[in-house]
Amino acid sequence: MKIVYYSFGGRYSDNPRALHQRLLTRGDVDAEHVWLAGPGHAAAFPAGTATAALRTPEATAALESADLVIADNHLPAWEKRPGTTYLQTWHGTPLKRIHRDALFTQPDGEDVMSALDDDITRWDVLLAPSVAAAVPLRAAFGFPGPVPVTGYPRNDALLAPGAVERRAAVRAALGIAEGTTAVLYAPTWRDDDRFGDGPDFRLQLDLQRFAQRLGGEAVLLLRLHYLVPDALRGLDVPGVLDVSRHPDINDLYLAADVLVTDYSSAMFDFAVTGKPIVSFVYDLERYRDVLRGFYFDPHEIAAGPLLETSEEVLDALAGLEDVRIRFKERYEAFQEMFCHAEDGHAADRVLDLVLDHREVRP
């Protein structure tokens, strides 16, 4: 059996990584594993991992000879042969509107969307992490096939028996002292942000003020979106670590004591840990009405406070116990709605489904 994996522009990450690793530990499938590797990412794959450079004849040949393709995003065009199963795991519960549902479009948007729609026609199964997420995922992609609610394989690690030890090891590697509060700041990207040569990228959270108010008591782990990981390269603020290139975000979820985000799907994964979530939504109206739009109203579902200024965020971080108490019931409702399938065994459910050819129910 030949299995080909693809994640986030050719990285070794996310749901495909979790499924690959679980297959290796289960040892019940005799398979050839091949990963599509993007420019600059090949060196990050584990030693001995077979890779094919993304968007090359070798990558196309791998896809076209695969028995099972596992991806968390859209693949470049390829000829799917009869008998191949294409498992699309996707990469998060959609709070913000996606695909053709998104309000903002780039100048070349129709060409891009047409290519993405073409990829969707090859999908056989689309995973959903929850019942609530299954509805917008199916609708956004116009996918007529099965959308089983399995939980996300990537989240199994957050509930694994060794999670406590892993947390300690990651914090030690990052230099986070015992008793220090680790704040993970993981904002999503904005469709109208410009970056690259001459970046016009603005981080709205005041990092200098964070250092002034919480320095010595807390460290901020800055995790930019994978589309803009180097937008703040060279950042030098005491008590702030740029972990945008850290290979596994689960390390950061475990190391952190609180998540600060905005409209990122990180909140749905982080809620598996039960730790506080603070939403910094300084541009909520613009994001909702101009850029993307939402499938769920943040005011109705938020597991923690919705805050508009840096100072309000810092106040919340300085009083996390109060946040836990005030938002206890909302947090539990959030977990029930979006994390009900997360039990640490999602990878096994998914693998049983695609490898044993069991009946898949929508």
pLDDT in tens, the chain (362 residues): 999 999 999 999 999 999 999 999 999 899 999 999 999 899 999 999 999 999 999 999 999 999 999 999 999 999 999 999 999 999 999 999 999 999 876 656 677 889 999 999 999 999 999 999 999 999 999 999 999 999 999 999 999 999 999 999 999 999 999 999 999 999 998 887 755 433 456 789 999 999 999 998 999 999 998 888 887 887 889 999 999 999 999 999 999 999 999 999 999 999 999 999 999 999 999 999 999 999 999 999 999 999 999 999 999 999 999 999 999 999 999 999 999 999 999 999 999 999 975 444 33
Q: Are residues 178 and 129 in the same domain?
A: no
The domain tally of the chain equals: 2
Q: What is the pLDDT of residue 11?
A: 95
Q: What is the pLDDT of residue 201?
A: 66
Q: Are residues 80 and 110 in the same domain?
A: yes
- Residue 158 to residues 155, 344, 350, Cα–Cα distance (Å): 5, 7, 17
Q: What is the pLDDT of residue 200?
A: 53
Instruction: Give the domain extent around 129.
Output: 2-151+343-355
Whether 360 is covered by a domain: the verdict is: no
Q: What is the pLDDT of residue 197?
A: 38
Q: Are residues 220 and 321 in the same domain?
A: yes
Q: Are residues 184 and 277 in the same domain?
A: yes
Q: Are residues 187 and 296 in the same domain?
A: yes
Q: Are residues 348 and 298 in the same domain?
A: no
Whether the CB-CB separation of 214 and 318 falls below 8 Å is answered with yes
Q: Are residues 170 and 317 in the same domain?
A: yes
Q: Are residues 193 and 141 in the same domain?
A: no
Produce one character per residue of 1-24: b if its CB has 16 or more CB atoms within 10 Å, e if not.
Answer: eebbbbbbbbbbbbbbbbbbbbbe
Strands 2-6 and 68-71: parallel
Q: Are residues 95 and 239 in the same domain?
A: no
Whether 325 is covered by a domain: the verdict is: yes
Q: What is the pLDDT of residue 189?
A: 84
H or E element in which residue 221 lies? strand 218-222
Q: What is the pLDDT of residue 358?
A: 43
Whether the CB-CB separation of 152 and 129 falls below 8 Å is answered with yes
Q: What is the pLDDT of residue 284?
A: 98
Q: Are residues 104 and 72 in the same domain?
A: yes
Whether the CB-CB separation of 148 and 125 falls below 8 Å is answered with yes
Q: Are residues 160 and 139 in the same domain?
A: no
Distance from chain centroid for Cα 113: 21
Whether 80 is covered by a domain: the verdict is: yes
Q: Are residues 135 and 229 in the same domain?
A: no
CATH number (domain holding residue 59) = 3.40.50.11820
CATH number (domain holding residue 273) = 3.40.50.12580
